[in-house]
Amino acid sequence: MSETPLKVEEERVYVIPLRDAYYSSRRKRGKKCVTIIREFIRRHMKDDDIVIRNDVNEYIFSRSIEKPPRRIKVVAKKVYDEEMDRRYVEVTLYREGTEKEE
């Protein structure tokens, strides 16, 4: 079985502020962070279909649901899947060396 042909159309690095999640109740802050990330990516990448990868989720919940980070640095890639004829934005955690060399 061959791998699915994915075409990266656009790639951007963002630092997303998550401080507004602290206005929510303690037990809802983690979920609020995910909502803030979705809205930020929707606004800046101009696409409604967003896939947040597991590493971002684990980073948000690493200090429990009550104490998420104040900001997060992510890589947003607009991907086109030719096999499924689907365009979506994939959000992953930024790691040193993942940015393209120009």
For the stretch 14-71, pLDDT in tens is 999 999 999 999 999 999 999 999 999 999 999 999 999 999 999 999 999 999 999 9
- Residues 20-52, buried b or exposed e (16+ Cβ, 10 A)? ebeebeeeebbebbbebbeebbeeebeeeebeb
Per-residue pLDDT tens digits for 54-66: 999 999 999 999 9
This prediction has a pTM of 0.85
CA-closest candidate to residue 71, choices 37, 42, 102, 41: 37
Residue ranges of domains in the chain, CATH in brackets: 6-93 (3.10.440.10)
User: Tokens for 86?
Assistant: 């689907």
